[in-house]
Chains A and B, each alone.
Chain A
Amino acid sequence: MAIPAYAGWGERLWYYTFRFLCGLIFLFLISPILIVLPLSFNAENYFSFTPGMLGLDPDAFSLRHYKDILTNGMANPERLTGWWSDAWNNAQWIRSMRNSFFIGFFATIIATVLGTLAAVGLSRSEMPFKKKIMALLISPMIVPLVITGAGIFRGFSDGARLINSFGAWLADFGGPLTWIGNWLNEFELVYTHLGVILSHAVLGTPFVIITVTATLVGFDQSLVRAAYGMGATPLRTFFKVQMPLILPGVISGALFAFVTSFDEVVVVIAMASVEQRTIPRQMFSGIREQISPTILAVATILVVLSIALLATLELIRRRGERLRGVTPA
C-alpha cells in the first residue's frame, strides 16, 4: 500500500502516523523478547542493565549464568573427572530439560497418532455427530487449565486406586494373572512421568485435530476412491495417498502439541513431583522464590529454540503449498 503521488498533506500525515503507531505496536510485541538476550549475559547478579553494560564494557558481560544452568544442583561442580555425568544426573536445569523433552516427545506421539486418526475420521462426510464430537475433542483447549489440572489430578489419583484394587482382586486368581494383578496393584499415575505424559497428550490433541482437519479441507476425496478402484487396501491408501498430502498438517500439529507440552506448567504443578519437574515448572518456582538471571539465560535458550521452530514451520508451510499446488484442486 504505497502512498499515491497525488495524496494531500493530510493523507501523508495520516499515512506516516499510522506506520509509526504500527511500529510502536511491533516494538511492544518484540521488545520483551529481545531485552532478555543481552540481560542474560549480565556479569552481575541483577535482573536489570548495569551502567557497565550500557557502556558496552566487556567486563560487564559474562557467561556465568549459562554456567549456572549447567552446574546448579551438581554434587561437585569443581571436580574435573565425571563432570558430565554429574551435570547430567544432578544439575536441576539439565534434569528439567531432560524431563521436558522426554514428556514432550511421548505426549506428542500419543497426541499426533490419536489426533490424526480422529481428524481423518471427522473429515469424512458420513461421520455421525460430527460437530458434537468435534466440540468435545477440542474442549481441552478451552477448559481453564486450573480446572483441567485439578480434575486430572483427582481423577488420576482415584482412578489409579480403582485400578489398584482391581489388581488386588486379580492377583488372587494365581498364575499369570497374579503377575498382572500385582503390577496393576502397584500402578500409579499421579507423580509419575506417565501421568504427566497422558495429561499433556490430552492438551495437545486439539491442535493436531485443528491443523490436520485444515489440510484435509483441501484434500480431494476422489484420490482415495481412485486408489480403492485400483485395488489398494485402505491401509495402503492411507499411507501412500492420504498421508503424504496431509503430512504438513500432521507435522505442524505435532509441533503445536510438542510446544503445548513444552510450555505447559499448570498441569505439571498439579501432577508432578520434583522428579518430573519440567523447564517451565523450574522457571515458575525460580521466579517465585529467588529471581536470578539464570532464568534469563534459560529464557534466551528457549527463544533461540522458538526461532528454530518458527523456521521449521515456515519450511513446512512452503512445502505444503508446493505440494498442494500440484494436486488438482
Chain B
Amino acid sequence: MTAIANNSSAAPLTIDGVIIDDAELKKRLDKAMFRSRFRAFLLVLPLLLFIVFSFILPIAYFLMQGIYDSSFSSKMPEVTKSLKDWDAVSEPTEEMYAALAADLRVVSANKTIGRVATRVNREFPGSRSLFTSTGRSISKLEAPFKESLVEKKKKWADIRVWQGMKTASRTWTPGYYAAAVDLKLNADGSIDQQVEKRRIHIKLFLRTLKISFLVTLFCVVLGYPIAFLLATLPVRTSNLLLILVLLPFWTSILVRTTAWIAMLQSQGVVNDLLVYFGITDDGSRYSLIYNQLGTLIAMTHILLPFMVLPLYSVMKGIPPSYMRAAKSLGATNWTAFWRVYAPQTIPGIGAGGILVFIVAIGYYITPALVGGQEGSMISNFIDSHMRQTLNWNLAAALGGVLLFVVLVFYWLYDRIVGIDNMKLG
C-alpha cells in the first residue's frame, strides 16, 4: 500500500479523466473484487438452489416430523385446550369429558377417528379400540358426559388414557427423539427410561455401529496389503491388478449382493466346496448368509474398493528411497516398514476408513437382502417404521439421530482429509 501511496503523491494517476487517489482506488478494487466474486457465485448458484430445494429442504421437512406432530391437536382442538391446564394427576373434570365428547363427535363424523386412535395408542397401548368403539355410538351419548362415557366404556375413567392423550396433544414434542434413544416422555413433561422390553433402539444403534466398525476394520486389514502390493509393483502389472479392484467398484451393488447369495447360501459355492473338501458334511452346512456374518462379508466386499483406492494413491506418493535409507542405516525390514513407511500411510487409512464407516453406517440394501433379522441395521428399522408401522414421526427422529452421527464423522473427515481432497477412481 505504501508503494501506491508514494506513487500517487508523486504524480496523481488518472483514468478517463478521474483522479485515482487511495480511496478511489480502494473503491474500484472493491467493486472489481465484488464483481468477480459475484460472477463465481453465479456459477454455483443454480446447483445451490437445486440442492437446497430438492435435497436440503425436503430432508429438513422430513426431520421436522421428529419434533412436530399435530395429528392429535389438529383433530381434537377442544380436548387439547382443556388438557393443557390439566396437571396429569388429578381426576379429569366434567368439562374435559364434555370437550372430549365434542371432539369425538367431529372426528367420528369426518372419519378421522382412526388416526386419533392410532396416535393415542402409541402413548398408551391398547387404547385404540376404546376410541373406535366409542366413536360409533358417540352421537347417542348425552350430558353429563363423564358419567355417560364411563358407562359406555369403563376405561374412560382410567387416568392413563388421559395421560396418554395429554402426551399426544403436544404439537411440538420431544417424545419421538426420547423414544429414539429409549426414553419415555410422561404426561407431566418429565422424561424417564423406557420399560425394559421396549428398549430396542440403543441396542440397534450399537449393533449398527458395531457392524460398521467391523466392516471398516476388515476393509483396512484386507485393503492395506493389496494397496501396498499395487503401490510397489511395476506400473504395468499394478494397472492390470487394479482392474480386479475397479471392476467390483463399478459393478452394481445389487449384482454383487446377488452374487454373494449365490456364493454363501446353504447350497451355494462356498458350502459346496467345504463339503467337497470334507470340512463339513452334507447334512451340516454352515449358515453363512441371512445373518450378521452375511452382512459383514457382503458389505466388506462392497466397500473394500473405497478403502483400497485412497490408500493406493497415498502409498504411491511415498518415495521408495525412504525405506531404502532406513535399511541402509541398519533397520530391519520390519522396523523400516513400521517406523518409516506405515506412519506415512496413516492419512490414507484415515481417508478410506472414515469414508467406509460413513457409507456403512447408513447402509440399507445389503443388510435388507442378506442380513436376515440379526444382521439388519438402523436404516432397515427406519424403513420398516415408514412402510409397516407407518410411524413417520419416530422414523424421522431415528433418522435425525443417525444423520447426527453421520455428520459428526463427515465433519471429522473434513478436518482430517478435507472435502476438497476427496478423490474418486
Do A and B belong to a common assembly? yes
* B247 pairs with A114, CB closer than 8 A: no
Contact A210/B253 with A29-B245, A155-B57, A155-B62 known, Cβ cut-off 8 Å: no
**Residues from chain A with Cβ under 8 Å of B65 in the complex:** 154
The CA-CA distance from A147 to B65 in the complex, in Å, is 13
Name B263's contact: one of A35, A117, A309 (CB within 8 Å).
A35
CB distance from A151 to the nearest CB of B (A): 4
* B362 pairs with A145, CB closer than 8 A: yes
CB distance from A122 to the nearest CB of B (A): 6
* B43 pairs with A117, CB closer than 8 A: yes
CB distance from B74 to the nearest CB of A (A): 15
**Residues from chain A with Cβ under 8 Å of B304 in the complex:** 29
* B251 pairs with A33, CB closer than 8 A: yes
A135 within 8 Å of B (CB atoms): yes
* A144 pairs with B406, CB closer than 8 A: yes
* A287 pairs with B33, CB closer than 8 A: no
The CA-CA distance from A29 to B55 in the complex, in Å, is 34
Name B262's contact: one of A39, A146, A256 (CB within 8 Å).
A39
A residues 190-224 touching B (CB-CB < 8 Å) = 198-199, 201-202, 205, 207, 210-211, 213-214
B126 within 8 Å of A (CB atoms): no
CB distance from A86 to the nearest CB of B (A): 26
Q: Chain A: how many interface residues by the 8 Å CB criterion?
A: 91
Name B43's contact: one of A1, A121, A262 (CB within 8 Å).
A121
**Residues from chain B with Cβ under 8 Å of A74 in the complex:** none
Interface residues of A, dominant DSSP: helix
A26 within 8 Å of B (CB atoms): yes
Q: What does the 1/0 interface line of B247-288 toward A look like (CB < 8 Å)? A: 110111111111111110101110010000000000000000
Of A29, A47, A213, A280, the most chain B CB neighbours within 10 A belong to: A29
Name B44's contact: one of A121, A152, A283 (CB within 8 Å).
A121
The CA-CA distance from A205 to B56 in the complex, in Å, is 14
**Residues from chain A with Cβ under 8 Å of B33 in the complex:** 126
* B399 pairs with A150, CB closer than 8 A: yes
A127 within 8 Å of B (CB atoms): yes
Instruction: Name B260's closest neighbour in chain A (CB-CB).
Output: A32
* B399 pairs with A147, CB closer than 8 A: yes
- Please choose the segment from A57-65, A168-176, A295-303 that sits at the chain B interface, where 4 or more of its residues have CB less than 8 A away: A295-303
**Residues from chain A with Cβ under 8 Å of B44 in the complex:** 117-118, 121-122, 127, 133, 137
B93 within 8 Å of A (CB atoms): no
* B58 pairs with A155, CB closer than 8 A: yes
CB distance from B350 to the nearest CB of A (A): 16
Instruction: Name A211's closest neighbour in chain B (CB-CB).
Output: B424
Contact A202/B244 with A47-B265, A118-B43, A143-B406 known, Cβ cut-off 8 Å: no
A322 within 8 Å of B (CB atoms): no
* B269 pairs with A151, CB closer than 8 A: no
B42 within 8 Å of A (CB atoms): yes
* A11 pairs with B333, CB closer than 8 A: yes
Other contacts beyond A33-B247, A143-B406, A284-B365: 4, CB < 8 A: A22-B226, A25-B225, A126-B33, A202-B50
Give me 22 A-to-B residue pairs in the complex whose CB atoms sit less than 8 angstroms apart, sorted by A's number: A18-B225, A26-B226, A26-B241, A30-B248, A32-B248, A36-B258, A36-B262, A122-B40, A143-B59, A143-B403, A145-B362, A145-B379, A148-B55, A148-B59, A150-B386, A155-B59, A156-B54, A202-B54, A202-B55, A205-B51, A280-B252, A299-B254
